[in-house]
C-alpha cells in the first residue's frame, strides 16, 4: 500500500487515526481538526492499514480502536511497540472493561478513552498525551480501581489466564496441552484451580466470564 508523505509544521501534533467504522472515524477526525494544533496525517480502517501509514509518516500520536477486522487494534499495538516503542498510542474503544484497558496497556497503549466520553475529553487526552505521554480518564481510573477490589480473577497467574482463554475458545484439555506444551493432567489441574478461584462450575460459565473480561470476542 502506497501512502504519500505529508508535510507539517514541526511544532504541531501529528495524528494517525484508525477505526473501521467510517462514521466514527469521520467524527473523530472532525473533532481533531477543530483543534488548531493538530494535523491528521492519515486514516486507517484496520491494523494493517495503520501499520502501512506508519511506514510512511511519523506522527506524534496514534489514535486507534481495538475491535477492527483483519489485524485488530491490540495486535497492531504490539507491532507498533516493537517498531516504534517511543510512539504514543491512545486507544478509543467501546469496551469499558478493566481487562481491555490492562491488555491495551500491556500491548503498548499509553492512554485509553471509551467511546462514551465527551468530546472535550478527546481534546484533553490529545493534549495530555502530547505534553506528558499518557492519559487515562477519571472513569477509566475508577474502573481499574473497582476491578482490583472486586474481581477474584486478578489473582490468576498468567498461565491460568492462558488456559482460561483457550478453554473459553472451545479447546479441549488435550488441545490446550499440545498448544502450551503441558500435559493434559496439568491443564486439568489449572482448570480446577481457575474454577475454584472464580467460583464457577462449568465451561459455559468460564466462557461468559472470559467474554465479559475481554479475553475472547463474543
Evaluate whether 44 touches 50 at the Cβ level (below 8 Å): yes
Domains of the chain by residue range: 13-148, 152-212
Degrees (nearest 5) of the Cα angle 30, 19, 82?
A: 120
Supply the pTM of this predicted model.
Answer: 0.65
Indicate the CATH number of 13-148 among 3.40.50.2300, 3.40.50.10480, 1.10.3720.10, 1.20.1250.20.
3.40.50.2300
Residue 157's pLDDT is 86
Cell digits for 204? 459455559
Q: What is the mean pLDDT of each run of 10 residues along the chain (218 residues)?
A: 49 92 95 95 95 94 93 92 94 85 87 90 94 86 66 78 90 92 92 88 86 77
Work out the burial of residue 160: count CB atoms within 10 Å of its CB; fewer than 13 is exposed, 13-18 middle, 19 or more buried: middle
> Residue 162: what are its φ and ψ, rounded to 5°?
-60, -45
Q: What is the CATH number of domain 152-212?
A: 1.10.10.10
The pLDDT value recorded for residue 213 is 77
Amino acid at each position: 500500500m502506497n501512502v504519500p508523505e505529508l508535510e507539517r509544521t514541526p511544532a504541531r501534533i501529528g495524528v494517525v487515526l484508525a477505526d473501521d467504522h467510517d462514521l466514527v472515524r469521520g467524527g473523530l477526525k472532525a473533532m481533531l481538526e477543530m483543534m488548531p494544533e493538530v494535523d491528521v496525517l492519515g486514516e486507517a480502517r484496520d491494523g494493517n492499514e495503520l501499520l502501512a501509514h506508519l511506514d510512511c509518516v511519523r506522527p506524534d500520536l496514534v489514535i486507534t480502536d481495538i475491535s477492527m477486522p483483519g489485524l485488530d487494534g491490540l495486535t497492531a499495538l504490539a507491532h507498533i511497540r516493537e517498531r516504534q516503542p517511543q510512539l504514543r498510542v491512545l486507544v478509543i474503544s467501546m469496551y469499558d472493561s478493566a481487562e481491555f484497558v490492562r491488555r491495551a496497556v500491556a500491548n503498548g497503549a499509553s492512554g485509553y478513552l471509551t467511546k462514551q466520553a465527551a468530546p472535550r475529553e478527546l481534546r484533553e487526552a490529545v493534549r495530555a498525551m502530547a505534553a506528558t505521554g499518557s492519559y487515562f480518564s477519571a472513569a477509566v481510573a475508577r474502573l481499574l480501581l473497582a476491578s482490583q477490589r472486586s474481581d477474584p480473577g486478578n489473582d490468576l497467574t498468567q498461565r491460568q489466564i492462558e488456559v482460561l482463554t483457550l478453554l473459553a475458545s472451545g479447546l479441549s484439555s488435550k488441545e490446550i496441552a499440545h498448544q502450551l506444551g503441558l500435559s493434559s493432567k496439568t491443564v486439568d489441574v489449572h482448570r480446577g484451580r481457575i474454577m475454584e478461584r472464580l467460583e464457577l462450575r462449568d465451561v459455559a460459565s468460564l466462557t461468559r466470564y472470559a467474554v465479559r473480561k475481554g479475553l475472547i470476542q463474543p
